[in-house]
Amino acid sequence: MWHLSWANLRANPTRFVATVLAVVVATGFLAATLVLRDSLGSALRGNATSQLAGVDAAVLPPESPDPQDGSGGPPKIGDQARLAAGLVAIVQAAKGVVGASGVLSGPVEVLRGDGEPVATGTEGRLWIPVAELDPFTVAAGRGPTAAGEVTLDRDLARRAGVEVGATVHLATAIGPQPATVVGLTEFGDRPSLNDGGDVLVSAADGFSWLGDGTPAYDQIYVAAAPGVDPHDLVDAVAAAVGVQGRVETGDHLRAAEANTAGALADIVGVALQVFAYLALFVGCFIVYHTFSITVRQRLREFALLRAVGASTKQVSRAVRIEALIVGTFSSVVGLALGAGAFWSATVLVPQLRDLAGSGSIGVRVGFWPAVQVIVSGVVITMISAFIPAIRAARTKPIEAMRVSKIDRGGASRGRAIVGLVLLGIGASGLLAGMALGFWPMVALGPVLLFLGTIVGGPILAAWFSLGVGRLLGHHPTARLAVANSEPNATRTATTANALIIGMFLVTFVVGAGGAVRDYSVRAISRLAGADLTISAESGTILPPEIADRAATADGVAGVTPVYGKVGTTSTGLAVGAIDPARAAEVLGLTTTQGDLASLGRGGLAVSDVFARGSKLAIGDRTTVTLANGATLDTTVTALTGFNLDLPAAMLATRWRWGPTPRCSPTSSP
């Protein structure tokens, strides 16, 4: 049978063109998806680990207490926990440390002469003076060491049209600032680490340009002296830091960063894999259809084999062997085309390269993904050929004398009844579920309609053919089309099934996407009361006059300042400050218990969502540590609904709660 199958394929390769194309398209889609996931994930993980290549240990902010373990309140909300700047000197003095440097980053943009940014998404970073910890290479000039000095990556400098020694204007956390370019940098073999560009600033400007002016770091990187064991280094640094931070090895940090960076690729890959397997599902129908047609065309051939002594098992085995060969060949071609399609996409679609945060993504074809593609293609081909192989095996020797055979097997009464019952239940369930608002019934309705269409396809195809024939009248072409499709209802239904499934998937994706979008917009609109929010990109202070200017703009009915974080409660909730009356008017802030008017001196309003997590209720007392270090004893006098524009807990702005406020005026037309 192997010899016979090979001979048939060599003699009639065009017979299987449609089958090969169906499997190639389905497996190619799956291959492109898996290659995208692995290639993008590899690029993202490589980017994340490359910038930490010289880090032997790292000091991270202490973790917030977990509300589930009973040790404290909910995780800290608002500003991310930071490390005091003085910790760098303490870490530097620890045993086995050859160098330590604080890490800080924030949005910084290079401005053109018209005030527009040269590139969007530019990342500002604090210059790391320790060579072992610095992931950047200075291609020209030197690193920034004094106030007002910066380095740009060479690609950003080219786009800005500047060289070493030029003066640029930067958009920073404290507003536009002039700076002198003292160097150009590279990141490995790429021009920049961040896709939008890298701006490295000096320690003298870092805290003000990249943050809120507080001398604190996001992390502290540590380089070990030669011969020092990483675990001994961690123990020594942890003993020096104490409770002010937690210490991890460089390997652990790189693994964590790689996993975080690769999560995007995994999410994209899983979503696309769902559609890839749906494409394989559709491919099953196409392959089944083409194999069925091929078997019908070869009835005389199979009958002749039976006549010369071939058994039913041998004939069935011959068809399955052909399916195995076609499936394997098509899957290998699909794998190659999928990888090629991904490579072409990286060249033609810059946004795909941008996902990696660098200028290039290598095509990565792993062993197991390749096996997955080939096995998937072979499996769907073998499954699709199973029933045609059985039909071929049942061919009688007498069939060699027949010229043609009309297929009426699919139009059986039982199949028609089952299909119509499923269609009826599906339609009734869908309409009843929509009328009653019972969503499980609404979800089940389309599934039953789909199954009813597949099961009752032949009888529906016959009815549809007759209906179209009567609609078109007695035109010879119409009569010929009806005569060709109505008696062969199974073939017509099988051909239509692939299109039905494809249209079902397209409609489902478009409809589900629109529903999710509308639901998300409505949900966010309910949670966010402001129509327009004005805030600094880095979350720092806005001048008070901005609120006054916004209030005079056309179409603005009300403006209220929101002070994002002025302190923290003893249970770990971020505390802001609002004008109660204006917040209720502009933000639509409502109370579930108590009254906002009661926010007098020492009064505190808490969002009911966070109040439950912190086990706070009306009348409970809690201590608020203010931004200036002072403490304030407060009483919960109001519980409010959740609002995206507001922090977890709020004081009234008419009471002094700290030094200069961080202001995010919110306007509502």
Please write the tens of the pLDDT for every residue from 569-601. Answer: 887 788 888 888 888 888 878 888 888 877 877
Q: How far apart are CA 538 and CA 604, in angstroms?
A: 27
Do residues 236 and 362 both lie within one domain?
A: no
The H or E element spanning position 610 is: helix 608-614
Q: Rounded distance, CA 500 to CA 523, Å?
A: 34
Q: What number of other Cβ atoms are within 10 A of residue 12's Cβ?
A: 13
Residue 303 clears pLDDT 70, i.e. is over it:
yes
164 and 230 fall within a common domain: yes
- The identity of residue 628, as a single letter, is N
**Residue 237, pLDDT score:** 92
The verdict on residue 534 lying in a domain is no
Asked if 88 and 216 touch (Cβ cutoff 8 Å), the reply is no
Does residue 1 sit in the same domain as residue 68? no
Residue the block writes with tokens 């699709």: 384
3-state class (DSSP) for residue 172: strand
The pLDDT tens digits of the residues spanning 546-566 come to 878 888 888 888 888 888 777
Residues near 403 by beta carbon (within 8 Å), at least 6 away in sequence: none
Confidence label for 523 from pLDDT (cuts 50, 70 and 90): low
Compute and round to an integer the Cα radius of gyration of the chain.
34
Q: Which of 606, 641, 643 is nearest to 621 (CA)?
A: 606
d(CA 292, CA 407): 11
Provide the 3-class DSSP secondary structure of residue 532.
strand
Place of tokens 């979503």: 271
Per the prediction, the chain carries an average pLDDT of: 78
- Least confident interval from 75-84, 333-342, 424-433: 75-84
Does the pTM surpass 0.75? The reply is no
**Is position 539 within any domain?**
no
Q: According to the model, what pLDDT value does residue 657 have?
A: 43
Q: How many domains does the chain have?
A: 4
What confidence score (pLDDT) does residue 97 get? 92
Residue 199 reports pLDDT greater than 50: yes
The enclosing H or E element of 69 equals none
Distance CA 310, CA 660 (A): 94
Same domain, 366 and 411: no
In contact, 153 and 195? CB cutoff 8 Å: no
Whether 151 is in a domain gets the answer yes
Calpha distance 164→442 (Å, rounded): 65
* Better-predicted residue by pLDDT, 444 or 355: 444
Q: Are residues 261 and 248 in the same domain?
A: no
- Label residue 437 left, alpha or beta by phi (over 0 means left) and psi (-120 to 50 means alpha): left
pLDDT digits (tens, 9 = 90+) for 271-285: 777 777 777 777 777
131 and 235 in a common domain: yes
Distance of alpha carbon 383 from alpha carbon 391, whole angstroms: 14
Residue of higher predicted confidence among 79 and 44: 44
Tell me: the pLDDT tens digits for 102-132? 999 888 889 988 778 888 778 899 999 998 8
Residue 345 sits in the same domain as residue 279: yes
- Residues 661 and 212: their CA atoms lie apart, in Å, by 11
SS3 560: strand
Is 442 in the same domain as 558?
no
Of the three residues 375, 404, 433, the one that is the final residue of a domain is 404
Q: What is the dihedral of CA 125, 126, 129, 132, to 10 degrees?
A: -50
Which pLDDT belongs to residue 20?
83
- Whether 233 and 300 map to the same domain: the answer is no
Tell which residue, 548, 29, 581, 23, has the closest CA to residue 277. Answer: 29
pLDDT > 70 in the chain, percent: 80
- Asked if the model's pLDDT at residue 76 lies above 70, the reply is no
Q: How far apart are CA 440 and CA 182, in angstroms?
A: 64
pLDDT band at 67 (very low <50, low <70, confident <90, very high): very low
Q: Are 258 and 41 in contact (CB under 8 A)?
A: no
Q: Reduced to 3 states, what is the DSSP secondary structure of residue 106?
A: strand
Domain for residue 645, yes or no? Answer: yes
Look at residue 540 and tell me if it is in a domain: no
Assigned domain for 538 exists? no
> In the predicted model, what is the mean pLDDT of residues 375-399?
83
* Domain boundary, last residue among 212, 237, 254: 254
Most confident range, picked from 195-209, 284-298, 353-367: 195-209
Calculated CA dihedral for residues 50, 56, 59, 60, nearest 10 degrees: 40
* Domain closes at, from 463, 493, 527: 527
H-assigned helices in 51-153: 87-92
> Is 247 domain-assigned?
yes
**Backbone CA torsion sign across 544, 548, 554, 558:** positive
- Helix ranges (DSSP H) in 70-202: 87-92, 154-160
> Structure tokens of 623?
């201590």
Q: Provide the token pair at 306.
A: 């039976």
User: Same domain for 102 and 168?
Assistant: yes
| 81 secondary structure, DSSP code | P
- Residue 97, strand partner residues: 224
CATH number at residue 657: 2.40.40
- Spatial separation of the C-alpha atoms in residues 481 and 491, rounded to whole Å: 13
Residue 533 lies in a domain: no
Tokens of 4: 């016979």
The set of residues, in sequence order, having a beta carbon less than 8 Å from that of 362 and lying 6+ positions away, is: 39, 42, 43
Domain that holds residue 571: 545-668
DSSP β-bridge partners for residue 626 = 567
Q: What is the pLDDT of residues 429-477, one digit of tens each?
A: 888 888 887 777 777 887 788 778 777 777 777 777 777 777 776 777 7
Q: CB of 288 within 8 A of CB of 494?
A: yes
The confidence score (pLDDT) of residue 15 equals 67
Report residue 360's pLDDT band, with 50, 70 and 90 as the boundaries.
Answer: low
Mean pLDDT of 326-353: 82
Residues 321 and 285 in one domain: yes
pLDDT at 654 over 90: no
Which region among 205-214, 296-305, 403-412, 467-476 has the lowest average model confidence (pLDDT)? 403-412
Go through 100-121 and write b for each residue having 16 or more CB atoms within 10 A of its CB, e for each that does not: bbbbbbbbbbbbeeeeebbbee
Q: What is the mean pLDDT of residues 226-230?
A: 89
- 86 shares a domain with 229: yes
